[in-house]
Each structure stands twice: as structure tokens, then as C-alpha cells.
Amino acid sequence: MSLLSLQGVGVRLGGAEVLRDVDLSFARGEIVTIVGPNGSGKSTLLRAMIGAVRPSSGQVVRASGLRIGYVPQTLHIDATLPITVARFLSLPVRRNRGEIAEALDQAGVPDLGARQMARLSGGQFQRVLLARALLETPDLLLLDEATRGLDQPGSAAFYRQVEEVRQRLGCGVVMVSHELHVVMSASDRVICLNGHICCEGKPEVVADAPEYRALFGTGTGGALALYRHDHNHSHDHDCGHDHTHEAAE
Amino acid sequence: MIFDPFLIRAALAGVGVALAAAPLGCFVVWRRMAYFGDATAHAAILGVALSLAFSLSVFVGALVVALLMAGLVSVLADRGLAMDTLLGVLAHSALAVGLVAASFLTGVRLDLMAYLFGDILAVSWGDVAVIWGGAGLVLALLGWRWSALLTATLNGDLAHAAGIDPRREQVILTLALAVVVAVAIKVVGALLIGALLVVPAAAARPLARTPEGMAAMAALIGAISAIGGLWAAFAFDTPTGPTIVCAAAFCFALSAGLGGLRRREDG
């Protein structure tokens, strides 16, 4: 059963063709990663999926009553707008205190509810965005470069959280990322995009595909293997804290 | 003397405008469209001239032209012109065209100063009713769409993902702005409406932790400015509209100082 599908979707922005002939379908419980160079239309594809961009050809078909959790690439909150984390999570739908606490906990940032959004660190901010998407109890979770600005342990921890969410909610997950190594290893399916779909398939298959190699070179083939190891290992040095929580600091 | 009916009417008119302008002003500040208010207000002068020429009510004329102006700004902004340039062009052109149009009105006595700077002491009970009606409409509109407006203000894509059309929310804000301008033109005048929108909201910012808190605080500051300004204008024999804006500016200075102190303590 498909949650959302794109059928022959093309998008033109300001006269330029950004996407053409995109046929894709996303199912429940599946983690799909979209990779591609800058300007390949990754974000535009996600924005077409949430309805923020109207396709110039083809169509986007959503399952009826589909709930989408969306984590945008960047979210600038104007300094003139005071807003606490708890209030932000209550937009646009009012959530009670318990739901908010639970979502923050699941996103790995408990006890942030009373803080001002403007005072969060980059990592905390991204996790609050994730918490907000989780409050939708989404059928489909869309993440657009969600680990931008996080260090490597931070983004590894973030993706582990996404994996947990997928298991608990059984939702489909679609991620856009530059960080091929971290992301691809966690994916069921990888889509290589450059205006159109160059290739798609299991991470190993895509990493070996000539189209992918042409875009990203061969260097990342090794990185794919490298990043398959567990990031939650203990270090030699004795710093006395748990590295899984470092991202939340 | 403080219970003179004209003073009570003036106070009611000022407070009514302040209550509607404050929460709307918060959106104006958050969305960085401070000069949008000015552009709409300046255009209202043209509306005043037209309504006098065609013997319509000033409120209707100002409302229609303010709406047209707001629509024009939205359409042109979509064409990719920079917003500040666009507003600069339209605001001043509208004011100039309004003043030129007013000069053609022969036979009609037009006290232009009254519409540029407002004449709050001259409001009638009918004006008070129009002002409170308009203010009530704007507050109801904002209250109804509050969550959607706030989400769209934060991020258009977040709004889309939640099934909210940011463009529709923009239209609602624009509509509310036009109504406030039309009801406020008699109270503070076209040149100072922008101040009533922006200054109380800016003064409320350091004192608030949530958007709702900021809107409520802005309304309070606006109301205090209206009454305080009215009193000061009477006591010092100064023009009323500008004195009200001065009172708001004074509140802004106080709160900015307070915010600075608080930041240092947090520091």
C-alpha cells in the first residue's frame, strides 16, 4: 500500500526545470533516502510532496487522511518572535503537557519545554523540530537535511532516533541528505536524484551504480562501509559522560 | 473636565484602535512588514480624497483603497521585486497621488491635516461605534486564525505540511490591516498609524515569552499609550495623535531598558 506517490512529476521554478519525470512511491515502515548534488531538486521534491510546490506536470497522490511529519531544512525564527519550545510544539494543533513531554523525550531532548526557541543550540533545535513532527503521529516522516549543523556523533544519534521512531510508529521515512555515509547505511532504499532519478535501489546497489559513481565519485564507496560501525562505542579517554547524549548538549 | 463627553469618546476611540492594532502589529513585526502598514495607511489618504469627491463615507473610501493597495503589494511581491523597495515606491506614490487628488477637490472643504495627523478630539459616537466594530472584527479574525497565522509566520513549508495555505493567511492579515487603517485614520491619522502598529509590539517584545503574551502586552501598552497620550495632550496642550505616539515611544524606551537589564542579569 502506497502512502504517497509521485507520477511523472515535473517541477519548473522561475522558468527553470528543476525536476522531470519523477515516478516514486513510498510505503509504510520504509526508510528511503534521497541523495543528489546541490541543486539536484532534492528539497523541491520534498516540498512538492507536502504541497508547497505545485508540479507543472504529473501529479502527487496522497493516501486519504495521510498525516505528514515534516522537518524542514532550515527554520529561521525571527528574533522579534518570542516562543517557548512547548508553545512551538503546540502549533498549529494544541497539545497537552503530557504529549509535549513525551515527544521531547522521544526526540532525545527532555526538559526543554520552557526554553526559548531562539536560545537552543543547533542540535537541540533540530531535535525539537523532530519532536514537533512526531506529535503529528505521522504516517510519513519527511526529513530535509535534518542533521545540518550537527557533528558526526550528533547526526548518528539523530538517525538512530529516527530509526526508533520508525519502529515504534511504523511510519514511512523519507530523508534528504548530503551525508551519504551516515544516511545510506540506515536506508532500505536509496534514490539518487539529479533533476531526474538517476538510479535507485538498496544502498549497496546504488553505491556501486555507475550513475551514482559519476555524481559522487568512488570515494564514498569506502565511507559507506566505514560508517556501518556502531557509533555508540566507548572512547579510550576518560571523559566520564555518555556519548549518545552529546548531540543534545 | 476629565469626564467631558468628548474626552470619553476620544479615550474610547484611542483604546479601541490600540487594542486591534497591537496584536496585528505583532504579526507585522514578526513578518518584517513594518512598512506595509505605512504603505496601506498612506494609500488611505487617496481613499479619503476619493470618498469626499464622491460623497462616500471616509471609512469606506479608506478601506477600499487600503485593500486595493494591500492587494497590489501582494501581487507585485510575487513578481520578485524586493519588498522594501516596493513598499517605498508604493507608500510614497500613494501619499503623493492622494495629496494631488485632494487638491482637485474644489468646493469641498478638506482639512487634510485632520487625516494626516488625526483628530481624535473630534470623533463622534458614530465614529466610536465604527472603531469598536472594526476592532472587534479584526480581533475576531485574528483569534479565529491565530494558530494558522502563527504557523504560517514561522515557516511556510511547516504550514503546508500541516495543511495550512500560507497565502490565504497572508490575505487575512492584509484584510485585517486594511480595516485597522480605515478605522484608525481619524484617531491618529495616516502618518502615524504605522507607529500604533509597530511601537507597542516592539515595546512588548522584551517583556514576553510567548506570542500570545507579546500580543496581550502590546495591547496593554497600546491602551496605556492612548489614555496617557490623551491626558498629556490635554495637560500640555499638544496635538493629540502625535502625543499618543510619543507615549508609546516612551513605553518602548522603558521596556528596551528593562530588557537590557534583564539580559545582563541572565548574562
Q: What is the pLDDT, as a whole number, of residue A182? A: 64
Which letter does DSSP use for residue B107 in this model? Answer: S
Q: Work out the minimum CA distance from A129 to partner chain B, whole angstroms.
A: 10
The Cα B261–Cα A230 span in angstroms is 48
Q: What is the pLDDT, as a whole number, of residue A203? A: 80
CB within 8 Å: B150 and A91: yes
Structural contact between residues A186 and A159, judged by C-beta atoms closer than 8 angstroms: yes
Q: What is the pLDDT, as a whole number, of residue A160? A: 83
Residue of B147, B164, B210 with shortest CB distance to A83: B210
- Select the residue from B144, B158, B266 to test the A interface by mutation, using most A Cβ atoms within 10 A: B158
The Cα B184–Cα B195 span in angstroms is 11
Tell me the domain boundaries of chain A.
1-67+139-151+171-217, 73-136
How sure is the predictor about B36, in pLDDT bands with cuts at 50, 70 and 90? confident
How sure is the predictor about A13, in pLDDT bands with cuts at 50, 70 and 90? confident
How sure is the predictor about A70, in pLDDT bands with cuts at 50, 70 and 90? very high
Interval A87-109 mean pLDDT: 89
- The class level of CATH for A1-67+139-151+171-217 reads alpha beta
CB within 8 Å: A88 and B162: no
- Select the residue from B153, B160, B199, B263 to test the A interface by mutation, using most A Cβ atoms within 10 A: B160
DSSP B17-32: HHHHHHHHHHHHHHTT
The Cα A7–Cα A22 span in angstroms is 7
DSSP chain A: -EEEEEEEEEEEETTEEEEEEEEEEEETT-EEEEE--TTSSHHHHHHHHHTSS--SEEEEEEPTT--EEEE-S--PPPTT---BHHHHHTSSS---HHHHHHHHHHTT-TT-TTSBGGG--HHHHHHHHHHHHHHT--SEEEEESTTTT--HHHHHHHHHHHHHHHHHH--EEEEE-S-HHHHHHT-SEEEEESSSEEEEESHHHHHH-HHHHHHH-SHHHHHHHHTTS-S-PPPSS---S-GGGGGG-
The residues, ordered by sequence, that sit 6+ positions from A204 with a Cβ below 8 Å of its Cβ are A224
**How many of the other CB atoms lie within 10 Å of CB of B140?**
11
Q: At which residue does the C-alpha cell 469626499 appear? A: B52
Q: List the grid coordinates of A176.
A: 534528504
Q: List the grid coordinates of A86.
A: 512547548
Q: List the grid coordinates of B101.
A: 487628488
Q: What is the pLDDT, as a whole number, of residue B227? A: 94
CB within 8 Å: A78 and B157: no
The sign of the torsion formed by the CA atoms of A223, A227, A228, A229 equals positive
Tell me the domain boundaries of chain B.
5-191
Q: What is the pLDDT, as a whole number, of residue A219? A: 53
Q: Work out the minimum CA distance from B157 to partner chain A, whole angstroms.
A: 6
CB within 8 Å: A84 and B153: no
Q: Work out the minimum CA distance from B204 to partner chain A, whole angstroms.
A: 10
The Cα B12–Cα B135 span in angstroms is 12
Between B128 and A204, where is the model more confident? B128
- Select the residue from B144, B157, B167 to test the A interface by mutation, using most A Cβ atoms within 10 A: B157
pLDDT digits (tens, 9 = 90+) for A151-174: 778 788 888 888 888 888 889 999
Using a CB-CB cut-off of 8 Å, the residues of chain B touching A77 are 154
CA nearest B198 in A: which residue? A80
Residue of A50, A87, A142 with shortest CB distance to B210: A87
Q: Work out the minimum CA distance from B32 to partner chain A, whole angstroms.
A: 9
- Kindly give the pairing relationship between strand A68-71 and strand A140-144: parallel
Half-sphere exposure of B37 (CA within 13 A, CB side): 28
Of the listed ranges A110-124, B2-16, B107-121, the one predicted with least confidence: B107-121
Q: What is the SS3 assignment for B165?
A: coil
Q: Is the pLDDT score of B2 beyond 70? A: no
ipTM, two decimals, is 0.82
Mean per-residue pLDDT over chain B, rounded? 87
CA nearest A68 in B: which residue? B161
Residue of A68, A80, A88 with shortest CB distance to B161: A68
Of the listed ranges A68-77, A175-184, B234-243, the one predicted with least confidence: A175-184
What's the CATH fold of domain B5-191? ABC transporter involved in vitamin B12 uptake, BtuC (1.10.3470)
